[in-house]
Structure 1
C-alpha cells in the first residue's frame, strides 16, 4: 500500500518534470548558439586553462567576457563532454530549469504539503520568461537553481536555528555571485529577514551568526575577483566592460551601479549589456563631426537630441523600405518603449518606471505577470491561515516570509529602476511567484471551504478573476497573433471567469456549509476548472519556444514571441547556426595570414563573435564588447603591428570612440583591401539596404505602429563610421603590413 501511495503522490510532479523537460529541451537546436557573444567566449575557453579561468572572450586571450566565470565554466565543461555546439552550451541552463522545478516542489511541499508543492512546480514550469531563460546560454537560470538550493538551507536554518545551514545558504549565494554578480544578492533581504525573525535561537546569537555568515559570503563572492585582480594585467585578458581593468570595478560599475541608474551612460556611448542597446550613441564629443573615410574615426551623425531621446535606430539613407526580417510586429512593442528608444526599449529600465510597469504595454509585460495576482492574493490568504505574526515559530510562517521578501524587493526593483536590465532577468521573480501561487491556492481553498462569518472565502474566486483579467490585458497587447490561438485563450479565460462566478454562487447557496463530501467535491471541481483556465495562456506562450526561434541575445517567450513570429522579428540578435555574411572574409584571412597572433582586429566583440565561432582563431575586439573599453594605447598597438602580431584591421561596426586614435592611425597608414576580395558585392549591397532606413518616431495615435521615413538626402556617403548600426555599412578592411618600420 505504501508503494501505491508513493506512486500516486509522486505521479503529478513526475508529469510536471516531464513537461518542464519538454519545454526546455524540445527542438533546442533551433536556438543555434543563442547569445553568440557568450558562445564565442565558451569556444575560446575550450582552448586552454588560461582562457578558461579568466573567461576569455577570444582565443588569444585579449579581453574577457564581462560576467563572472562559474556559469561559463559549467558551459565549457558541457561543451568539453558533448562537443562544442549550440545545444551543448545551452544544455546546462535547460537542465537547471528542470532541477529548479523540482526544487520549488520540494521546498513548498516540505512546509505546505504535496498539493501546494505540485501547483508551485507547475506554475514555474510554464512561466514564459523562465522557459526562455532555460533555452538560452544566458546564465540566469543557473543562478535561479543555485538560489533555490540556498532557500532549502535557509529554511532549515531558520526553523532549527542551525548555524551550519545558514553558512551553507550564504556560501551558495556567494557561488551565485560568481554566476551573475550582484544579481545573486537580490535574495539577501529574504535570507537575512527570515533568519532574523526566527524564534529558534536568541537575537544575540542570530546577529552573531549573520555577522560571521556575511564575512563568509563576502569571501566566497569575491574569491575569483581578488585572484584575477592580483594577477598582473600583462598575464591575463583585459577585464571586459571595466574602466580600469579590474573585476572589482566591473562589480561596482557595469554590473553594479549601472543596474540602478544609467543616466550617465549615454547608451551606445557607454558600456552596455551584451545584446542590449542603450540610449542613443553616446556623448557629443564621442560622436564628432568629420568624415570617416577622410581619416576621422570619431564621426557620429546622430544629434545630441537623438541621444537624449533614446532614438537608437535612426538609420539614414537608402530607399526607406523596411528590410525583410526587420518588420515591427503589430500590436507589440517591437523592442521599443512607448517613451521612445528604438531597440533601447529592450532595456527594461527604459520603459516608464511605475508600479504598473510590469503590467503595461512594453517588452516586459507578458514575461512574468501571468501568476502574479494569484501570488499576491495567495500570500494574503497564507498569512490569514497561518496567523502570520510574532512569534515565527514554525516553518510555514518562516517560508511565507522567505518567499514574500524574495518577491517584493525584486518587484519594486524591476518596476522602478532606471538602470540596465533585460527582460529575461525577470526569471528571478518566477520562483517566489510560483511558490506563493501554490501556497496561496491551497490556503484560499481552506478559507473557502470553512464555515465562517467573514468574507475571507472570497479571496479564492476574486484572485482567480483578477488573474484572468491580467491575462486578458496581456492578450489585448498582441492583436496580431493567430485567430486560433486567440480563440483558445479567450475560451480558457471564459472558463476561469465562469467557474469563479459559480464558486461565489455555490458558496452563497450553501450558506458557507461545505463540510459535506458532495459539496466539497463540487467546490474542488470548480476551483480546478478556474485554475486550468489561467494555466492555458502561459502554457501556450512557453510552448511557443519549441517551434519559434527566440532572439539569441534577448530571449523572450510568451505572446511576444508568437507576435514577433507572426509579423517578422525586428530584433537584431545572434544568427546561431543559420549562417553568416563572413564566409568570404574568413577565406581571405585564412589565405593571407601567416603567423600573426590575431588574424583580424575589429572594433568590438559584436563584430568578432561570429568569426571566432567559425574559425576558433584569435580575433582582437579592440574596444571590448561594444567598443567602449580603452584597452590599448596607440603606441602599444603600433608595437604589435611592428612585431607582426596584427596585420588586418576591419574598421566600422560597433566602435564608439574608445579607440579613435588607433582607428584614425589605421585609416591613414593602412592599405585598403579591395572589397571584392573579402566581401561579396551582392551581400554588401544587401547589407546597405538592410541598414539604410530611418525609424524616426513613435506615433502614439497609431497604437504601437511606427512611422518610417525615407532620408535619402545624399549626404551620408562616407559619413557612417564608428558607432552603432549606422556605421556598419562603412566597414573597410585595411592591411597594415609594412606600415611600421
Structure 2
C-alpha cells in the first residue's frame, strides 16, 4: 500500500490530536466526580446501568441521558474503573472527530481544505479540554459530525435513507446531551430543503418522515423510563415530578434558553430550623438553578479556586476587576461581542472565528451561492454556516444556563469553514481584482482578534507577550507581503503559498499553546477549559482535584461502623463528598439529587428506612435542602451528634474539592482569600448525626 503525502499529513494531524487528548491524561483524576460516581454505580448492576443511577442502590439518577455514560461504563468494565478508563471514550472521540471532519470537508472541497479543517479542530482549546473530560460533549460532537456526513450525501443525491440516517444519528446525540444535540437541526432542515436533487414536494415529505424518526429515536429511552413504575427505578435527578420528559423540557430544555423559572429551587446554606454547632462555618447560601454564581474567580471550597471556570477557574489574568461570568456562560453580558470580551468564554473558541466568517464569504462568492443548492459544495457551505450562525447567536445572547465548555459545539463549523475558506480565498487571491483582497484582509482581522484576546493576559503573563510577538511576525508580516505582492502583480506563486502558510501557522500557534496547557496542568473536572489561566492557577497553588486523604477519616469512620445499613450515609446533594465516597468505596449514599432539592423521598418514608435499619448516619448542613429540609430538621432533632474529631480529617478546613456543586453556590464573601462553598467537606461542613439510638427506641416499642 502506497503511503501518499496526503496520508502522511493527516496522520501527523491525528497524532497531534492524540497527543493533545491523551498525553498525561492521568492528571485529570476522575474529572467530574458527579458523573464518575454515576459511572462507578453503573458498573455495579444492569439496573444502575440502564437508568444511569448516581448511587449503587438506584435511589436517584444523573440528570443527563444515558448513552455517553453507557459508553464510559463499558470502558470502565473493560479496563477496570479508573479515571483513565472513563476519560478514554472522550479522548478517543476527539481524535475520531478530527478524522471525520477531514473526510467530510475533503469530500466536497479537496484534501487541502480537509487537512486545514482537521488541524484547526485538533488544536481548538475548548475542544481539547472537553476531550480530556467526562462531560460527554465531544461524544456528542462526534455524533453530530457523523450526522453531517449523512446529510451531505442526502442533500447531494436526494436519498431519503441518508436523511433518515442523519436525523436518527441526531436522535442518538439527543440521548447523549438532550436538546444540545438539536443545535444542528437548522442546518439539517434548511440544507435539505434548499437542495435541488429531488422536487420540493418530495423534500417536504422526506423531512416529515425524518422528523418522525428524529423524535422516535430521541425520546425512546425517556419514554421507556417514564413508563416504568417509579418504585422500580431511581428518582429522575433534577426533575420536578420524577419524569424524564419533564427533565428534558425543564432543566435540560427551557432553562438552557433562559425561559421560565428554575425547575428546582435552590437549597443550601443552613437548613431551615437547623443551627450547626458554633464551631462550624455555616455560610454558603444556595441559589436557584440557572442563576449565575457571584464571586467568579474567587476562591471556593475551603479556600482554593477550582481551575477551569471558563478560564482556569479565575477571570483572565489581565482582567482588572478580577470578575467574570464564572461557570455560567449566560451570566456574561449578552451581546454580539460576548464571545470576544474579556470573560470566561473568548479564549476557548474565538481564535479562528473571523477567519471562518471571511472564509464562508469567499467560498460563497467562488461557488456563486444561491438559494437553490445544486451541488454538494453549496449544500455543505449552507450546512456548516447554519450550524455555526445559530449556535454563535445562542451563545452570544442567551441568558439561560450554559457552561463555557459547551462552546465545543462551535469548534467543528469554525474549523470546517476555515479549511474551506482558506482554499477559496487563495483561489480568489490568484484571480486578482477586488476579491484578491479578501485573503490578506481576513488574515489581518483574525490576527487582530487574537491580539485582543492575548492582551487580556498581557500584564500578568510573559507567555502572552511572546505569543503576541510571534503572531505579529508570522501573521502580519506575511499578510503585508501578500498585499505588496498583490499590488505589484508578483507572479511568484510558490512564494505566495509560503506566505499564506506562514500566516496561517501564526494564527494556529496561540490556540495550540492554549490547548497544550492541558497536558501539564490539571483542569477543573466540572468546568474543563484550556489556557494560560491553568498555569496561573497552578502557580498560586490552587488544587483542582480532591486529594486522596480529603475524606479518608470520614470514609474510614462510616465503613467501620457500617453493619446492615443500605445507605452508608445520607446527605442533601450528590456533589462533593457524596460522589467521592461512592467512587472510593462503592457504597451507596442517599442524596436528593445534584442540587439537593429533588422530591425523591418523603419524611414518613425516610423515617421508615431509619426504623428498619437501612439508614443510620446523616450529614446535616452544608448545601442542598429544598424539599428535604423537613428530613434534615427531623434528623438533627432526633439524632445524636457525632463529634467532629471522630470523622473529620485534620486537613478538612483547608482541603479543596472540585465537584459539580461549585457551579451552583452563590457565595457571600467579604474577602477574596476567604471564599468557601457549602457542603460538608470544607469549612462549611455540616454536622454528622447518628440515628441508631432513635431506631433502637422504635424497635423496643
TM-score normalised by L of structure 2: 0.91
Q: Which residue of 2 aligns with 1:523?
A: 496
1:107 aligns to what SS in structure 2? helix
* CA-to-aligned-CA distance 1:666-710 (integer Å, 9 cap, x gap): 010001112111123x3244469999xx9778xxxxxxxx96488
Equivalent residues of 1:653, 1:728 under 8 A apart: no
Equivalent position to 1:638, from 594, 597, 607: 607
- CA change 1:314–1:289 in 2 (3 A) is farther
Supply the distance in 2 between the matched residues of 1:71 and 1:652 (Cα, whole angstroms): 33
Change (3 A) 1:671 1:226: same
Alignment partner for residue 552 of structure 1, among 525, 547, 558? 525
Closer/same/farther in 2, CA of residues 216 and 146 from structure 1, 3 Å limit: same
The count of corresponding residues between Structure 1 and Structure 2 is 685
Q: CA deviation at 1:265?
A: 3.3
| C-alpha separation in 2, matches of 1:20 and 1:591 | 46
Q: Which secondary structure state, in structure 2, belongs to the residue aligned with residue 497 of structure 1?
A: helix
Asked whether 1:147 is paired with 2:102, we answer no
Q: Structure 1 residues 222 and 709, CA, compared in 2 at 3 Å: closer, same or farther? A: closer
Distance 1:546 1:666, change over 3 A: same
Q: Tell me which of 479, 487, 500 is aligned to 2:466.
A: 487
- CA–CA distance in 2 between the matches of 1:125 and 1:523? 26
Contiguous gaps of at least 5 residues in structure 1: 272-280, 698-705, 712-719
Match of 1:616 among 586, 599, 602: 586
Closer, same or farther: CA 686–126 of 1 in aligned 2, 3 Å: closer
**Is contact 1:656-1:724 (8 Å) kept?**
no
RMSD of aligned Cα (Å): 3.4
- Residue in 2 aligned with 1:683? 651
| Match in the other structure for 1:715 | none
Name the CA distance, whole Å, in 2 between partners of 1:339 and 1:60: 48
Alignment of 1:339-354 (within 5 A): 345-354=326-335
Judging changes above 3 Å, is the alpha-carbon distance between structure 1 residues 228 and 289 closer, same or farther for their aligned structure 2 residues? closer
2:275 matched to 1:292? yes
Correspondence for 2:637: 668
Aligned runs of 1:524-539 on 2, under 5 Å?
524-539=497-512
Taking a change above 3 Å as real, the CA distance of residues 20 and 301 of structure 1, as seen in their structure-2 partners, is closer
Q: Equivalents in 2 of 1:415, 1:613: separation in Å?
A: 37
Structure 1 position 654 matched with structure 2 position 617: no
Unaligned runs of 5+ in 2: none
Is 2:202 the partner of 1:205? yes
The answer on whether the counterparts of 1:16 and 1:122 sit within 8 Å (CA) in structure 2 is yes
Question: Does the alignment pair 1:270 with 2:265?
Answer: yes
Scaled by the length of structure 1, what TM-score is found? Answer: 0.86
Deviates more, 1:341-350 or 1:554-563: 341-350
CA distance in 2, matches of 1:638, 1:332: 45
The 2-side partners of 1:125 and 1:349 are apart by 26
Give the corresponding residue for 2:386.
405
**1:654–1:727 contact (8 Å) kept in structure 2:** no
Q: Deviations over 1:523-552 (max 9, x none)?
A: 111111111111110000011111111111
| Shift of residue 602, structure 1, vs aligned partner | 1.0
**How far apart in 2 are the matches of 1:601 and 1:322?**
20
Following superposition, the deviation at residue 491 of structure 1 comes to 1.6
Structure-2 separation of matches of 1:213 and 1:129 = 32
Cα drift, residue 651 of structure 1: 1.4
CA contact (8 A) 2:101 2:118 kept: yes
Flag the 1:620–1:343 CA change in 2: closer, same or farther, 3 A.
farther
In the TM superposition, what whole-angstrom CA distance separates every residue of 1:29-56 from its partner, at most 9, and x where no partner exists?
Answer: 0110010100000000000100000000
Structure 1 residues 217 and 710 mapped into 2: Cα distance closer, same or farther (>3 Å)? closer
- In structure 2, what is the equivalent of residue 31 of structure 1? 28
Distance of 2:330 and 2:570 partners within structure 1: 33
Deviation at 1:326, TM superposition (A): 3.6
Provide the residue aligned with 1:253 in structure 2: 250
In structure 2, C-alpha distance between the alignment counterparts of 1:146 and 1:334, rounded to whole Å = 29
1:486 offset after TM fit, Å?
2.9
1:355 paired with 2:336, answer: yes
Q: For residues 577-629 of structure 1, what are the alpha-carbon distances to aligned partners after superposition, in whole Å with 9 as ceiling and x for unaligned?
A: x41421111111111111111111111111310000110011111x2112121
The aligned counterpart of 1:701 is none
Cross-structure match for 2:450: 471
Corresponding residue number in structure 2 for 1:14: 11
Determine if the alignment matches structure 1 residue 374 to structure 2 residue 355.
yes
Q: Deviation at 1:488?
A: 3.9
CA contact (8 A) 1:289 1:301 kept: no
What secondary structure, in the 3-state scheme, does the structure 1 residue paired with 2:444 have? helix
Structural mapping, 1:119-138, within 5 Å: 119-138=116-135
